[in-house]
Amino acid sequence: MCGIAGIYNYYSSKEPSTEQNVKKMLSMINHRGPDESGVYLDKNLGIGNVRLSIIDLSSGQQPMSDYTGRYWIVYNGEIFNYLELRSKLENSGIRFKTSSDTEVVLQMYAQYGSDCLSQFNGQFAFCIWDRNKKEMFLARDRVGIRPLFYWHQNESFAFCSEIKGLFALDQIERSLDKESISQIFTFWTTLTPKTPFKNIVELQPGHFMKINSGGIQIQKYWNMNFPARKDIKSSNLSDTIEELDELLYDAVKIRLRADVPVGAYLSGGLDSSVTTAYIKKVNANILNTFSIGFVDKTYDETAYQLEAAKFFGTNHTAFSCTSEELAENFAETIWHTEFPILRTSPTPMFLLSKKVQESNIKVVITGEGADEFLGGYNIFKEAKIRRFWANEPNSTARPKLLTKLYPYIPLLKDSPDMALKMFFGYKLNETEDPLYSHLLRWHNTSRIKSFFLDDYFSSLNGNNPLNDINNNLPNNFGNWSGLSKSQFLEANIFMSGYLLSSQGDRMAMGNSVEGRYPFLDYRVIEFCNQMPDNYKLNCLNEKFILKKLSEGKIPDSITSRSKQAYRAPIISSLFSKNAPDYLSDILSEKSLNDSGIFNPEKVKSLLTKIKNGGLISEIDQMAITGILSTQILNKKFIQEPIIANKENLKNYRIIDQLTIL
């Protein structure tokens, strides 16, 4: 895995600062690629890379060119089917000078142009410079596993794997975007292509872009599709299980391609246990697995993790996260997420990846994607129950089904009927709304906005963030089943914008560790999306087909256990007696006034409630985490200078096209 950055001035000749500016961006993302670094310079362009060496350790240096010197690439990611593609190219007469997948990407583009993207099975973000055309081509993987951010103004364009790299450039202003903040405090993330910062956007998942003297062109190359209700085909369950089994086996097999040891996360749940079973089937040698538990037993799954490790006979590293460690590392987490967050869950993942790094492991297989594409989340069940309840809105029995979904929410556990109706009854009867499954979650999250200053969002003129989703839904969205709609929304918004970013790529790459996701193999996604709904969510039995597939492959206790959402302590960590001083300082009245985002009196009232041991609701917990993370983000990215590390500016391999010519 790597980090990439570049600058392109459409018309002007190369400025003396281009080399230094590319270096500055790369220095900010050195954690993504501590092994090697390089910069390529042309007359009006500079592109660079920091490399985490995983495939072809000896000769895969970047920036890399083809034999003609026409095309130059910087690349972040892995193309898992690169061996098959290489063979295809060699059969057509293409010669290779390295064994890396980077060169395969480069040669595929040289042969097929943008059509090469449909042939890639991987997770990637890359830039290719065409010296003849004076054109830059950038692309990102189908579901947004690898990040790519950019800024453009007038005739200048800059891109980087992380936003902090862009902010190392003096010409880029730094300010929060209020519309984006409103989205985050509704959906937990921004809606692509927006980011929390003005004029900083992401290349959307499944898209590519071309930049030349004519400007910028962006095009979509992959869609996440589901069949219309009437077109869902029934299939034999046994045959479907067999086909899914073959797909997952191959998805794991090709993700084990690496010239360094590969480990796996073992959470104690169904998804990670299944991927571990496939790893053992592919290669029965010793497997290094890693898991995180919590001293706070409310959130701990250590018993299941150890049971799975024993069952598979892995070399297991179990790490228990304390409240003190979570609090101490929360600010660094925000430095890497570059987004406000409403849960502390990313921090333990950051600490876990640090344990992986300390074990000299660079790659881990994880189970993300199974919940989204096989119907594993409670929000899918919740929508199903609410639709069932909406058929008889006066029923007192039907809403009680909802209490079984969230045993970890004390306020719901023994709620009276009226309380249940108040909590879950929001827009209950609006079942034809295309966003029905998520309306309740987004409404509850939006309540946190009451902590903002009264006029903070006034410039938005009452804009409803839901309109931004409705205006960009697929044309055939209305013909999909309720579950398909839910899955699309969850995968495109929460998974891509939060799970794979704030909790995935950023936490792992913050410690120079690459995550690989077999369930996000595009073949697996497309196959799951065509399945009948009841193979995924059978009544209220989530991931039904995966449980059937896992029988005999993993411990029975894990197959049959109730799903436990991954969560981390909030109040007991951030407000313990031993919490670091910076947490209280950044929530002080002075800091809140300096930021000009949140209402100091309302924040003070919430803090008093927490310190007095009052009953803290889920909304309260999201609110305090969101307030704290936004304050930290504002301080680190807006109020304080972002200065490139001088040590990281040294020892770059420089390739100057002027000297080549």
Composition of the chain by helix, strand, coil, percent to 5? 45, 15, 35
**What tokens does 339 get?**
């987004």
Starting at the earlier edge strand, list the strands of the sheet with 653-656: 201-202, 149-153, 156-160, 2-9, 45-51, 36-42, 653-656
Rounded Cα–Cα distance for residues 188 and 181 (Å) = 9
Do residues 196 and 184 lie in contact, with contact meaning Cβ atoms separated by under 8 Å?
Answer: yes
Q: Which residues, 6+ apart, have CB-to-CB distance to 461 below 8 Å?
A: none
Enzyme catalytic residues: 2
The distance of Cα 148 from the centroid of its chain, to the nearest Å, equals 12
Do residues 279 and 251 lie in contact, with contact meaning Cβ atoms separated by under 8 Å?
Answer: no
Rounded Cα–Cα distance for residues 447 and 400 (Å) = 24
Closest CA relative to residue 200, chosen from 220, 219, 178, 175: 175
Alpha helices in 435-543 (DSSP H): 436-446, 465-470, 482-489, 506-509, 522-529, 533-536
Phi then psi dihedrals of residue 38, to 5 deg: -160, 160
User: Which residues are 159's β-sheet partners?
Assistant: 6, 150
Closest CA relative to residue 123, chosen from 437, 386, 505, 458: 505
Alpha helices in 92-229 (DSSP H): 101-112, 163-166, 178-187
Q: Which residues, 6+ apart, have CB-to-CB distance to 547 below 8 Å?
A: 270, 541, 559, 560
Question: What is the DSSP secondary-structure string of 398-455?
Answer: GGGGGGGT-TT-HHHHT--HHHHHHHH-TTTT-TTSTTHHHHHHHHHHHGGGGGB-TT
Long-range CB pairs of 509-512, under 8 A, 24+ apart, other chains included: 509/1, 509/3, 509/31, 509/32, 509/336, 510/31, 510/332, 510/336, 510/350, 510/353, 511/31, 511/350, 511/353, 511/354, 511/356, 511/357, 512/1, 512/31, 512/32, 512/33, 512/34, 512/52, 512/357, 512/362
Rounded Cα–Cα distance for residues 498 and 504 (Å) = 8
Q: Which residues, 6+ apart, have CB-to-CB distance to 206 below 8 Å?
A: 140, 141, 142, 143, 144, 220, 221, 222, 223, 224
Closest CA relative to residue 325, chosen from 342, 304, 350: 350
For the beta carbon of residue 284, count every other beta carbon within 10 angstroms: 9
The distance of Cα 246 from the centroid of its chain, to the nearest Å, equals 26
Do residues 260 and 53 lie in contact, with contact meaning Cβ atoms separated by under 8 Å?
Answer: yes
